């Protein structure tokens, strides 16, 4: 109960608008779906994917930096780096291994394999959507390890979409379907409390001093 008392105390230092935003956003967050980007070269693409994760309620983004390692572009992410949890991996193998231990199936997004079109995707399974490099696409390792292949139907001359556009289209569709379903997709109460603490810490500049002050009052 001590933690909850501290949480309530910390929230008094937030603006009313920020408290309401937390209250509105957190119940719509999910870890049922997650996203992984594999050695994306253009920084703005990864940043834009993070922004889409935030917009559509995806709580975690996984970044494989086996070849390319860069920081999130704050301007393009538009503050999303505060609200989306970022997991970084030095190899695709480590990323896939970790995701499997968390119960995710590996979904390779590619226009070059015939498996499942977006409209037919089974949303009941915990899934991680993998997006590859701008020119080469996903690595052979991801394609071999994938549990299924997912593609966005296209009827024009262009064979593929920009990674950030693809991610936005897929996430919008699957999260919309998820919220209409009876699947238990929301964060647990424990995860919600953890995120409240985390988001407050990222919001309040004098967070540590406020916590110390609270402890002296107990």
Which residues line the annotated binding site for S-adenosyl-L-methionine? 109, 152, 161
Q: What is the largest CA-CA distance in the chain?
A: 67
Rounded CA-CA distance 88/90 in Å is: 7
CA distances from 199 to 13, 52, 59, 193 (A): 13, 18, 12, 10
> Under a CB-based contact definition with an 8 Å cutoff, are residues 77 and 104 in contact?
no
- Reading the block at residue 31, the tokens are 């870890």
Q: What b/e sequence results for 63-87 when a residue is b if at least 16 CB atoms lie within 10 Å of its CB, and e otherwise?
A: bbbbebeeebbeebbeebbebbbee
- Reading the block at residue 210, the tokens are 């406020």
Binding residue positions: 109, 152, 161
């Amino acid at each position: 109960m001590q933690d909850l008392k501290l949480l309530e105390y910390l929230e008094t230092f937030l603006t009313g608008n920020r408290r309401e935003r937390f209250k509105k956003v957190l119940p719509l967050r999910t870890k049922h779906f997650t996203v992984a980007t594999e050695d994306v070269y253009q920084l703005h693409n990864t940043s834009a994917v993070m922004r889409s994760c935030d917009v559509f309620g995806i709580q975690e983004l996984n970044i494989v930096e086996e070849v390319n390692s860069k920081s999130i572009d704050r301007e393009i992410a538009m503050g999303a780096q505060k609200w989306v949890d970022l997991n970084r991996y030095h190899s695709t193998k480590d990323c896939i291994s970790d995701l499997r231990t968390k119960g995710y199936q590996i979904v390779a997004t590619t226009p070059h394999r015939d498996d499942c079109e977006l409209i037919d995707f089974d949303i009941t399974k915990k899934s991680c959507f993998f997006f590859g490099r701008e020119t080469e696409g996903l690595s052979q390792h991801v394609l071999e390890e994938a549990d299924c292949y997912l593609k966005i139907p296209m009827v024009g001359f262009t064979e593929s979409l920009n990674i950030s556009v693809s991610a936005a289209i897929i996430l919008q569709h699957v999260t919309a379907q998820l919220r209409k379903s009876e699947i238990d997709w929301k964060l647990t109460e424990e995860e919600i409390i953890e995120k409240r603490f985390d988001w407050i810490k990222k919001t309040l500049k004098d967070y540590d001093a406020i916590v110390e002050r609270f402890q002296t009052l107990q």
